[in-house]
Amino acid sequence: MKAYVYVSLKKSVLDPQGKTIHGALNKMGYKGLADVRQGKYFEIQLDGLNHDQAKAEVERAAKEVLTNPVIEEYRYSIEE
């Protein structure tokens, strides 16, 4: 079983890295890219947990360790 946790800046928070990449892509002639935002993601290999246990552990880790709740938000998915 594998979990993927995606952590991104809240929409209300300025994303300078995303802005910089967006500017560079535009300068390099890329077309149709209206905005770019950058985040982190974590691939977590799970072992010896059932689906509910995995959900609980991943959600707790995302909330308490992987995300700064002041400026970041997260979503996650679990693959069997």
Binding positions for a second copy, rule: CB under 8 A: 6, 8, 18, 21, 24-25, 28, 30-49, 53-54, 57, 60-61, 64-66
Are the C-beta atoms of residues 5 and 44 closer than 8 Å to each other?
A: yes
Radius of gyration of the chain (CA): 16
Instruction: Name the minimum Å distance from CB 5 to a second copy.
Output: 9
Instruction: Name the minimum Å distance from CB 68 to a second copy.
Output: 14
48 vs 70, beta carbon nearer a second copy: 48
28 vs 70, beta carbon nearer a second copy: 28
CA distance 73 to 66: 10
Instruction: Name the minimum Å distance from CB 70 to a second copy.
Output: 19
CA distance 78 to 80: 7
CA distance 74 to 7: 4
